[in-house]
Amino acid sequence: MKCFRHRESDALGICKNCSKGLCSECAIDLKDGIACKDTCREKVERINAMISSAATKGRHLVLALVYCTMGIAFVFVGWGNSSQGPVAYVFSIPGAIFFAAGLYYLLAPKFASKN
């Protein structure tokens, strides 16, 4: 494959935005792929930023669900054993901490996007 601008130069790869062949002179390396130096660079950077922020949100949601579920499970075990005194506290306290961590992960991305 040849560069779309320089017919005599071999292409290093293709632009992530417009899929044209690019030589070392025309391409800019954006870690996560290459793009046309002047025309597509901003677009590809924006796309990469969007993808990584979506991935972060997805991870946060999974963590939030895991922590909330664990928190609720611990609290239920604690309540179930509340007649046995201290056991209830032993389970309820980490349960509350897990639940709080879950809520944090659920709400943190919203706080972050406001700023």
Q: Quick check: 18 binds Zn ion (CB under 5 A)?
A: yes
Reported as type and span, the H/E element at residue 94 is helix 86-114
Q: Quick check: 23 binds Zn ion (CB under 5 A)?
A: yes
Length of the chain: 115
Q: Which residue from 56, 53, 63, 54 is spatially nearest to 106, judged by alpha carbons?
A: 63
Cβ neighbours of 10 (radius 10 Å):
11
Q: Quick check: 25 binds Zn ion (CB under 5 A)?
A: yes
Distance CA 30, CA 55 (A): 18
CB-nearer residue toward Zn ion: 22 or 64: 22
Q: Which stretch binds Zn ion (CB under 5 A): 40-48, 65-73, 85-93, 102-110?
A: 40-48
Q: Quick check: 17 binds Zn ion (CB under 5 A)?
A: yes
Binding-site ranges for Zn ion (CB under 5 A): 3, 5-6, 15, 17-18, 23, 25-26, 36, 40
